[in-house]
Each structure stands twice: as structure tokens, then as C-alpha cells.
Amino acid sequence: MFQNNPILIKLKKQLKLHNSFVEGIVRRKEKGFGILEVNSQKSYFIHPYQMKKVMHGDKIIAAIINNKDREMATPKRLIEPFLDRFVGRICKKNNFIAIIPDNPFLKDIIPCDNIKKLRCELQNGDWVVAKMCSHPLKDNRGFHAELIDFIVKHDDQYAPWWVTLSRYDLERDAPNINLGKMINENLDRKNLVELDFITIDSISTEDMDDALYIRELPNSNLHMIIAIADPTSYIEAGSQLDIIASDRGFTNYLPGFNVPMLPRQLSDNLCSLRPNIRRPVLACSVTITSEGNLIDIDFFAAWIKSKAKLAYNDVSDWLENSGTWKPSDFKIAKQLRLLHRLYLIRNRWRKNYALVFQNRPDYRFLIGDKGEVLKIIVEYRRIANHIVEESMILANICAGKILNEKLGFGIYNIHSGFDSKSIEQAITILATHGIIFDAKSIATLDGFKLLRRKLDTQPTQFLNNKLRRFQSFASISNKPGPHFGLGLENYATWTSPMRKFSDMVNHRLIKAIILGNKISCPDNTLIIKISERKRLNKIAERDIEDWLYACYISKFIGTDHKFVTEILYVFKNGMKVKLIDNGAIAFIPSILIHELRDELICDHEHGIIVVRDKILYRVGDVIDVTIIKVCLNKRTIVARPMDNTIK
């Protein structure tokens, strides 16, 4: 009897089910509704009621329903939850305990189970680790989380460090393991203790891992020995400490302190190339011609005794004829002059035949006893830094060459230039700026080097930044390959074995070459593990820096304090700037650039901001700003230009 019911027919038309299903990512919007992103061109509306079943970032399958000619997504099945293991803050009210995830995209308050498991009294704002134990699309109840670890109290000044390390499940402390004596490797170590080796590091460095010795040959060539600390002389492959080092992958350098890969007893004492103490090393001997070419490369084990621990700034002052410091004797002075000469020769060679880094400043956080940021120090790389850097690059080129020739494998740093799928886009952008390349040439090492040199002559970093998103990421491989970013045929690091497990592996490979032993190629599982740990360490360092910047800059909110900034990017809704004095990144929304939105054009493609057909700002401009807002939860800084006179 309902077959021809007009009301039912009308309802069916309004809610016409297509029986189609799509897969996508949920994006929650401010007003409570959501969007299901299927791809960059297609998305579907999710009703606020349906959003109760999902969380921002969930990967789901949804049914598509046509409601009043509008396609809507109804969540049906969970593919991958946005949250699994996560950190957050306790929200406590009466007998109800929940957790608020520490994520800028989430505002959900998630009820907690198994509270007593932590065996501690929780207060509002305390930091904990939790794991999602139920999801509406997967279980028969709403969102619930299980508390699995306590991190730190709500008022702990070191929360930025402990919370971030817990977020990525990274270690807080150095390995705690007893060390034995040196292992018997059957290596015939050369006795070089009489040579005038020196170390150059930051004044506070304790884990000195490289020492340099250089002399001039009768034909004016330079003969150099790079001696590298040898932790593998204490750590047997497959031992407990070796497994710990392989799991950690790297020393984790964080603002204010570091978390070592190896026990400090080893890195800061037994293997550290301290002055006037006999130490085992793995060494590379190489001759550098007056043209900068490397010949007569030889690797061997040795004993050395550093004659001086020198500091970057002291050496730089002396070489630049400033300051009061001077070498302790003429032998050390001679070493420094020859090392300076080596730097000039090799730097010129790399400019002609490879690529040279731009000299960008480093920013160092000075942390107080209570974890507060006292000051952010700008450190520019000076001549002594460049000397050591050039020496290490030289040594790693030698390692790449010897591993390739003798074994055909190792752990190599590689970079393939532009992503093959993006080359055409890169060529098009270059052409619009008068730089003409074809796909074949830009995909070669020589072509990439030529392009990089052209980009370095550009007046701003705009084009360079724009092209960066079309480039592949640097990575590591167990096979030789070019490093386009350095402009080199291959590159294998071995100069930081106390800080990088990959360098420890290359030490063992080089020792096998020295001894004439057979050794297997590092497997891909190890490569993947090291790569993932490197990625996590980088993210953790960035997250802590963002947190500390937000805390430090917050005291300038609403003040007249002027910050000098450089415009880095232009977006559709504003621009990103870098505070030159401290390295913090701030966002300037378009409404603070020009009040009349219809008169404002944020041209991302050309890196300019235009008002009434006149350029107001462009990427690379240096402008003054004040701070108007800092969001500590999101670790973001909002700034306002002090002068926006139309140019």
C-alpha cells in the first residue's frame, strides 16, 4: 500500500543511496562538521552527528549518500586510526578521568581505562602516554584510551623534552652498561703518537672523535692523516651494546643537551681523543695536490696522542688576526696554517667540481637550571668550522671510494636530485624565471650541479625554496650512489662512529678491508631501521625547538619589541617569516597584512603579496614585526608587520 506513497517517493529522492563507497582521510572543521578527503580534487561533507563516530585524521571507508543534491559521507569502516599510541594531558573531574591528546588538530576529551595501572596520583594537566583501546567504528562503544605510562607532572619545566621524547618513544638517558677491555681484532696498529695531531671542537665538547695531522711534501702537495676515534675496538659486533647502538642509531642532539648513542664512559672518556692520552683510532692517509685532487688514499689502524684540544672560536680568531688567543707552540701554529691552506684548496675544488654549502647560522638554546630558555645564541660557521668540515668531507669521500673499489657496498649517503615524477614541473618553473634545462640534463649529476650554481646566483631564496619540494629526500643505502646535494659521485660517512651507528658499520667494513677478511653487505632491514630513527630524531628536535620558541617568544606578546625577520614563504592566507635574531618561525595572517581582503593578493606562485596592483612584500624581504599571539598548545607564533607601506 506504500508503493505509490508520494511522501515516501519524495524521501527516497532526497536520500538517494548510490551504493558507492570511498576511502579517505577525515578532516574536522572548527564548526563541528567534517570533510572526507579522497584526493586533492575530491572531498565529501560529513555531518556533525556522523563526526561523533570518527576522529580527525582517521583513515576510513564511507558510504556516499545524495541528500538534497549534496553528496555526503557516512563513516562505515575504520582502516587506520589517527591515534594509536599517543601523549596527552590528564583532565580530571570528580571520579572521571580523561585524556586530552597533545595534538593541534584534536580537541577530543577521551575517557580513560585502567587508571590504577600507573600507580601514581594523577592531577589535572599531568602528562601521560596512552593507547587507544576502542573506536566507534571498530567496537561497540565510543572512544576510550588506556593509560600506559606516566611522563611528567603538569608543572615540570622539562616537559618539552620528556613529553616529546615519550611521544616518539625515544630514550632519555645514555645506555647504562658496563664496558670491558679492548677486544682483540688482530689489527696491526701503527704507532703515530709522536705526530702533532690536534682536535678542533666547541669549547664544551667532551666526545672528541676526530684529530687531524698535516704536513707539506717537497713538491708542495699536502699529506694529511685523519684519525677517527675507534669505539668498535671496544664493542664487538652482535654484543648487547652493539644491539643497543643499532636500535638508537644516533646520538640525539636536542636543545640544551644530548642523549648519547653510546655510554658516556666510552664516548666522553675511553674513546674520546683527549689531549696527551694514547688512544686507538681508525685513520685515513691521503695526499692533496695543489689542484685539490685526492691521491694515494690508505686506511689503517693506529695509536695517536693528540697534542692539543682547540676551540673553534679561538682558532678562528687567530687565523683572522683577532682576539688574544694563540697556539701554545710553533708546531701547533704550523698545523693550523697548513690546515687553513688545505681548506682553501679543497673548497676551491668543490666549488669547481662539486657543490658547496651556503653559510647559514646555527641557533643554540641557552637553558637555565629550571629548563627555561635564558637566551638563544646565533652561531655562524667560522673559518675553523670550515676547516674541520672540509676535512671530514674529504675523509668521507675517501671512504666512499675505498668501500666501492674493495667491496662494492657499505653504508652510503645518497641523494638523487629531483624526483623523477616532478622533473617536468621543475623545468616549467625554471623556464618562467629564464633558466632553461631539459629533463635529461637535469637528471644527471653534472646537470644538477650546474643548476645549483645558477640558483646560488639568484638574488633571493624564493626559486630555490620553490624547487625544493620537487627534490627527493637524502637517504642512506647499502650500495654506492651519487649525492646530488653534495655534488659527489658517492659519499660514505665514517667520521662520527660514537654518534652514528652507520659510521660504526663502515668502520667494521674498512677494518675487514685492512685485514683482508670477508664481510657481508649490511642488510636492508638495518638501513630501514637507521633511516626511521634519523627521521624520528629530527622530528623530536624540531618539536622541542618549536615548544621552546613558543615559551620564549610569549613574553613579547603585545609589547613594542621589534624583531627583524626574513620572509620565507607566501601562502594563500598569509606569509611565514623567520626571526633572524633567534631562528623562530612566525606566521603573519593576511588580515594583519591588509584589512581589505578584496584588495590583497597572496601570490604563492611568484612569492609576492600585492595590494592594489602594487607589490607590498616578496620572499627574501627583510621586515620588522611585533608579536601579537603565541599559541602554546599548537606551538605557533603570530606576528604583525610594523610597516606595510606599499612599494
* Positions marked active-site: 201, 207, 209-210, 312, 499
Q: Kind and range of the H or E element at 446?
A: helix 445-456
Q: Phi and psi dihedrals of 446, rounded to 5?
A: -65, -40
* Residue labelled with grid coordinates 690508505: 298
**C-alpha–C-alpha distance, residues 454 and 435, integer Å:** 8
Angle at which helices 159-167 and 524-553 cross, to 10°:
150
Going by C-alpha positions, the residue among 184, 191, 392, 183 that lies closest to residue 305 is 191
Q: How far is CA 70 from CA 12, 33, 43, 467, in A?
A: 14, 14, 12, 38
Going by C-alpha positions, the residue among 498, 473, 577 that lies closest to residue 230 is 498
Helix segments in 354-415, DSSP class H:
383-406
**C-alpha–C-alpha distance, residues 571 and 586, integer Å:** 13
Cell of 588: 603573519
**Rounded to 10 degrees, what is the CA torsion of 222, 309, 273, 516?**
0
**C-alpha–C-alpha distance, residues 502 and 148, integer Å:** 32
Q: Phi and psi dihedrals of 614, rounded to 5?
A: -120, 140
In 45-65, which positions are buried (b, 16+ CB within 10 angstroms) versus exposed (e)?
Answer: ebeeebbebbbbbbebbbbbb
**C-alpha–C-alpha distance, residues 356 and 204, integer Å:** 27
**C-alpha–C-alpha distance, residues 631 and 554, integer Å:** 9
First to last CA, the chain: 75
List, as own/partner pairs, every contact residues 153-156 make where C-beta atoms lie below 8 angstroms and the sequence separation is at least 24, other chains included: 153/123, 153/126, 153/127, 154/89, 154/90, 154/123, 154/124, 154/125, 154/126, 154/127, 155/125, 156/127, 156/371
Cell of 54: 570518527
